[in-house]
Amino acid sequence: MEIRPILSAMMRNRSGVLLVGLQIAITLAVAANAAFIIQQRLEKIGRPSGVDAANMFYVYSYGYSPSYDSKPTLAADLDTLRRLPGVLAASSTNGMLLSGGGSANSYQASANTKAPQIPGNYFEIGEQGLNALGVKLVAGRNFRADELTYSGLDNLFPKQIIVTRTMAKALFGDERVVGRLVYSPTGDAAEIIGVTQNMMGSWVDNRHPENVVFHPILQRGARLTYMVRTEPGRRDELMARAEKALSKPGDGRFVVWVHSQEHYIKNSYRSDRRMVVFLWTMICLMVGVTALGIVGLATFLVNARRKQIGTRRAIGARRIDIVRYFMVENGLLTAFGVIAGAGLSFLFSYWLSNMFALPPLKLRFVLWGIAALLLLGQMAVFIPARRAAAVPPALATRTV
């Protein structure tokens, strides 16, 4: 391979080579980091919710009449919802999964006020709450009807709780947790009576999204939210029927909205999806511009060297030798670019980590980027190289 003479020739055309090399380096740095962020976002979007999201919906009603009484309304509503054919379970709740709004508390494994406080996103549910979510118990038992209380400041911390597997582990490690007591920061104690499989909580960007705790508490007040799980494929039909069933004229309240669980999931990841599309578009544009830069430089070099190419052909170069010359030259140019770009990628990642608390870039994204850019370079230069190979050897004897 004639690498040294090609390098020598490249060094005499420094400005174009440097510009395109720099363009390749910047493209690699941006594309590798963008691809890494895309992968993180896709992983985030692809996280399982842990609940039967496809068959779940929420109904929110507001009581406005002075005669409105939430306790009998709640009991009647739950009875109505549970009687609808196709409904598997219904419960009141204080929050919706991945809705961006919910309740949180700190939990401790011991009464010692200096014990580590584990943040937990708690849901106040009834005895059908776990079933309405489609969440299975992996240990212990469900709430009994006699354990349910009504929400209010005086009984915020319940006597029994159920936790997710992740929350159990956060509190007690790998020890058995059913029957253990957990404490609020104010010293109130609750017994863990069950452990469920993992599920997401209310906040999509929560650092501990699966630290979920269930409290056996029914809602009261003007605002009541119900979560309902249906037989597969009947959700949309039952959303309409549930709204109609709870909208009785003259009962002093109205149904404000009915939303599916998927509605919240879709909304909660909207910004992530937009970011993915934006970053993909940016990568495509940068790669496209870089490819054009490579084609442009190669075309310029071919045009500027037509006489030289003719001479090379005249003194014995085959067409394939000319194609190979430009491919090798481009390979070297891209190699310079990606070597510089690899360093730049990690510098850029370091800056992003400091500025936006992102995890450090993984090496494999840089390696994939290098491979992609080397391939792109070879593809981009192929047509100009073929054009160069078509330069006739007789051009060597022409004086113009």
Partner 1 sequence: MLEMQNVVKIYRTDLIETHALRDFNLRVADGEFVAVTGPSGSGKTTFLNVAGLLEGFESGSYRLDGKNIGELDDDARSRTRNQKIGFIFQSFNLIPDLDVFDNIDVPLRYRGFNAAERRRRIERVLELVGLASRARHVPSQLSGGQQQRVAIARALAGEPRFLLADEPTGNLDSLMARQIMDLLEEINSRGTTIIMVTHDPELANRAHRNVHVMDGQVTDFHAFESPLAAAV
Asked if 317 interacts with partner 1 (CB under 8 A), we say yes
Strands (E), the chain: 56-63, 87-92, 103-107, 118-125, 137-140, 149-150, 160-164, 181-183, 189-196, 212-218, 223-230, 253-260
| Helices 363-389/319-356 angle, 10° precision | 150
Closest of 115, 139, 108, 135 to residue 123, by C-alpha: 135
Our CB check for partner 1 shows the closer of 263 and 319 to be 319
Asked if 303 interacts with partner 1 (CB under 8 A), we say no
Our CB check for partner 1 shows the closer of 343 and 393 to be 393
CA dihedral over 198, 202, 203, 206, signed as positive or negative: negative
Q: 159: helix, coil or strand?
A: coil
From candidates 48, 321, 351, 379, binder to partner 1 by CB under 8 A:
321
Site for partner 1 in 5-44 (CB under 8 A): 5, 8-9, 12-13
**Which of the stretches 138-146, 225-233, 266-274, 306-314 binds partner 1 when contact is defined by CB under 8 A?**
306-314
In the complex, least distance from residue 297 CB atom to partner 1, rounded to whole angstroms? 15
| Helices 3-11/14-45 angle, 10° precision | 100
How many Å apart are CA 223 and CA 162, to the nearest integer? 24
**Which of the stretches 138-146, 152-160, 187-195, 308-316 binds partner 1 when contact is defined by CB under 8 A?**
308-316
From candidates 107, 313, 342, 388, binder to partner 1 by CB under 8 A:
313
From candidates 208, 234, 263, 307, binder to partner 1 by CB under 8 A:
307
In the complex, least distance from residue 42 CB atom to partner 1, rounded to whole angstroms? 47
Our CB check for partner 1 shows the closer of 229 and 312 to be 312
User: Please, what is the Cα angle at 193 between 192 and 197, to 5 degrees?
Assistant: 90
In the complex, least distance from residue 346 CB atom to partner 1, rounded to whole angstroms? 34
From candidates 197, 299, 308, 378, binder to partner 1 by CB under 8 A:
308
Asked if 332 interacts with partner 1 (CB under 8 A), we say no
Size of the site for partner 1 (CB under 8 A): 26
How many Å apart are CA 346 and CA 344, to the nearest integer? 6
Distance of CA 164 to the CA centre of its chain: 21
CA dihedral over 81, 83, 86, 91, signed as positive or negative: positive
CA dihedral over 323, 326, 327, 329, signed as positive or negative: positive
From candidates 311, 339, 343, 386, binder to partner 1 by CB under 8 A:
311
In the complex, least distance from residue 305 CB atom to partner 1, rounded to whole angstroms? 8
Sequence-distant (≥ 6) Cβ neighbours of residue 131 within 8 angstroms: 88, 89, 91, 229
Token reading at 322: 């000319």
Our CB check for partner 1 shows the closer of 186 and 397 to be 397
Our CB check for partner 1 shows the closer of 3 and 292 to be 3
Give 256-304 as a DSSP string: EEEEEHHHHHHHHTHHHHHHHHHHHHHHHHHHHHHHHHHHHHHHHHHHH
In the complex, least distance from residue 278 CB atom to partner 1, rounded to whole angstroms? 42
Interface map 379-398 toward partner 1 (x if CB under 8 A): -------------xxx-xx-
Our CB check for partner 1 shows the closer of 14 and 364 to be 14
Q: 309: helix, coil or strand?
A: helix
Which stretches of the chain bind partner 1, using CB under 8 A?
A: 2, 4-5, 8-9, 12-13, 307-308, 311-321, 392-394, 396-397, 399
